[in-house]
């Protein structure tokens, strides 16, 4: 039987760039999620998302797993980057785009290895 924690770990493992947010990238349901996803989208790479409003089990469990109490949460290659303030600050100083582009390149290389 798969637990919520198993699902979270699998999502984080399988998606090199993943945001847990309230709503969707096209229709964020909170201001913090909207700011974070805008910064992420501005980096120009594909990313996965999980709408925690549609997944109350993940919404309940992820803060304990991540040791991060709030949403959104941006995960890159299995590491928690942070929430809105951190992501927006990283975007403003150019770090986010570098991180995201590197993750996309690395993910592309890994996909090539599997083919």
- What DSSP assignment string belongs to the chain? ---HHHHHHHHHHH-SEEEEESB-SSSBSSHHHHHHHHHHHHTT---EEEETTT-HHHHHHHHHHHT--SS-EEEETTEEEE-HHHHHHHHHTTHHHHHHHHHHHHHHHHHHHH-
- pTM score, two decimals? 0.93
pLDDT, mean over the chain: 94
Q: How far apart are CA 9 and CA 87, in angstroms?
A: 21
Q: With bands split at pLDDT 50, 70 and 90, how would you rate the model's confidence at 72? A: very high
Q: Which of 103, 112, 106, 111 is nearest to 44 (CA)?
A: 103
Domains along the chain with CATH numbers: 4-106 (3.40.30.10)
Overall average pLDDT of the 8-29 stretch: 97
């Amino acid at each position: 039987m798969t637990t919520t924690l198993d699902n979270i770990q699998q999502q984080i493992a399988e998606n090199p760039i993943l945001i847990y947010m309230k709503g969707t990238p096209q229709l964020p349901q909170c201001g913090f999620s909207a700011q974070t996803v805008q910064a992420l989208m501005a980096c120009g790479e594909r990313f996965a998302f999980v709408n925690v409003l549609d997944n109350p089990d993940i919404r309940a469990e992820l803060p304990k797993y991540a040791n991060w109490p709030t949403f959104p949460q941006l995960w890159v290659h299995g590491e928690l980057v942070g929430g809105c303030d951190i992501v927006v600050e990283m975007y403003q100083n150019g770090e986010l785009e570098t991180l995201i582009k590197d993750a996309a390149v690395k993910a592309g290389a890994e996909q090539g290895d599997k083919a």
